[in-house]
């Protein structure tokens, strides 16, 4: 069973015999004793964020040490119990590696972080048109204002809508995400890229959103509101990583074509 002191001295626990390297599946089983909702995707995500650096076999398989598993347990515990962002957790781990003590938030401070997360989740729900009754929806703009902001014509907007690139809310308004998408489509159009060319990007975005949903679905179904708030924070982190990966892949593909 993984356990860590909450006093800031660092994680403790074992991953089998001292010095033994284990697979990601074994790590998952060890972590699930304390964190039932953890998934392999979550472990890989934390690796991508630099929270843990498992060794690799010649064939590319991950192999985790006892220290790796302890670090993962610490990260998950700080997210669950103190609602700390990954950047802060990484700073804690770096400080502990230098032999320094870290100061964890007080219960009141942790409560404040959770309240802010709850507000963000509620705002996001309202923006999607599913807010609480009586709660004002996030600001949206009308069709004419969107056309003016994007520098587009009614015909162009209708074409974007026909390809599913932009969609109005039931009340006819467009949210901030739609405005951003519309402006980007207009900018790409100036380079000769038409909406039909962008269908592949939309399909890729839908698939990426589906992957994110697979990771956070167990957290969203959880009865604990803290866990549900953590699901929304995780979704935002995964979305940001997905955007960075997409940009890096496009850049890499262009680089290879110019060689």
164 and 210 together in one domain: yes
5: left (phi over 0), alpha (psi -120 to 50) or beta: beta
Whether 74 is covered by a domain: the verdict is: yes
Determine the pLDDT at residue 16.
44
78 and 160 together in one domain: no
Confidence of residue 248 (pLDDT cuts 50, 70, 90): confident
Determine the pLDDT at residue 31.
94
Determine the pLDDT at residue 106.
57
Whether 8 is covered by a domain: the verdict is: yes
The stretches of 36-127 forming alpha helices (DSSP H) are: 40-48, 66-82, 86-97, 107-127
Q: Is the pLDDT of residue 102 over 90?
A: no
83 and 182 together in one domain: no
Question: Are residues 61 and 54 in contact, defined by beta-carbon separation less than 8 angstroms?
Answer: no
Which tokens sit at 234? 């995780």
84 and 172 together in one domain: no
Separation CA 127–CA 199 (nearest Å) = 25
Whose tokens are 């929270």? That residue is 51
245 and 157 together in one domain: yes
Q: Is the pLDDT of residue 92 over 70?
A: yes
90 and 151 together in one domain: no
158 and 247 together in one domain: yes
Question: Are residues 259 and 152 in contact, defined by beta-carbon separation less than 8 angstroms?
Answer: no
Residues 6+ apart with CB under 8 A from 16: 22, 26, 66
Confidence of residue 25 (pLDDT cuts 50, 70, 90): very high
Could you list the residue range(s) of the whole structural domain that residue 200 is in?
Answer: 143-258
Question: Are residues 185 and 195 in contact, defined by beta-carbon separation less than 8 angstroms?
Answer: yes
Whether 120 is covered by a domain: the verdict is: no
101 and 175 together in one domain: no
CATH number at residue 244: 1.10.1660
Q: Which helix (H) or strand (E) holds 214?
A: helix 199-220
Half-sphere exposure of 216 (CA within 13 A, CB side): 20
Q: How many domains does the chain have?
A: 2
Share of the chain above pLDDT 90, in %: 21
Whether 133 is covered by a domain: the verdict is: no
Whether 137 is covered by a domain: the verdict is: no
CB under 8 A, 24+ apart: contacts of 102-109: 102/8, 103/8, 104/6, 104/7, 104/8, 104/78
169 and 99 together in one domain: no
Whether 126 is covered by a domain: the verdict is: no
216 and 155 together in one domain: yes
25 and 90 together in one domain: yes
Final residue before a domain boundary, out of 56, 87, 105? 105
Q: What are phi and psi of 52, to 5 degrees?
A: -150, 145
Question: Are residues 202 and 163 in contact, defined by beta-carbon separation less than 8 angstroms?
Answer: yes
E-assigned strands of 20-59? Answer: 55-56
Confidence of residue 160 (pLDDT cuts 50, 70, 90): very high
Whether 124 is covered by a domain: the verdict is: no
160 and 236 together in one domain: yes
Question: Are residues 162 and 156 in contact, defined by beta-carbon separation less than 8 angstroms?
Answer: no
Whether 111 is covered by a domain: the verdict is: no
Which is more confident, 1 or 251? 251
CATH number at residue 7: 1.10.1660.10
Confidence of residue 138 (pLDDT cuts 50, 70, 90): low
Which tokens sit at 246? 């997409």
């Amino acid at each position: 069973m993984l356990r860590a002191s909450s006093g800031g001295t660092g994680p403790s626990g074992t991953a089998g015999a001292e010095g033994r390297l284990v697979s990601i599946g074994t790590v998952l089983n060890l972590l699930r004793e304390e964190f039932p909702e953890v998934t392999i995707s979550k472990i890989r995500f934390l690796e991508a964020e630099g929270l843990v650096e498992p060794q690799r076999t010649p064939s590319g398989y991950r192999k985790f040490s006892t220290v790796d598993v302890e670090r993962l347990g610490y990260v998950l515990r700080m997210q669950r119990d103190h609602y700390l962002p990954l950047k802060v957790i990484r700073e804690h781990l770096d400080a502990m590696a230098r032999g320094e003590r870290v100061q964890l938030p007080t219960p009141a401070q942790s409560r404040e972080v959770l309240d802010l997360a709850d507000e963000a989740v509620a705002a996001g729900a309202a923006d999607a048109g599913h807010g609480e009754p009586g709660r004002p929806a996030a600001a949206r703009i009308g069709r004419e204002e969107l056309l003016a902001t994007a520098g587009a014509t009614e015909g162009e907007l209708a074409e974007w809508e026909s390809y599913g690139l932009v969609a109005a809310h039931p009340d006819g308004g467009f949210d901030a995400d739609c405005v951003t998408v519309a402006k980007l489509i207009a900018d790409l159009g100036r380079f000769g890229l038409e909406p039909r060319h962008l269908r592949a990007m939309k399909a890729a975005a839908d698939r990426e959103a589906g992957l994110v949903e697979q990771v956070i679905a167990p957290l969203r179904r959880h009865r604990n509101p803290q866990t549900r708030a953590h699901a929304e924070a995780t979704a935002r982190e995964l979305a940001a990583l997905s955007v960075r990966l997409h940009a890096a892949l496009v850049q890499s593909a262009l680089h290879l074509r110019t060689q």
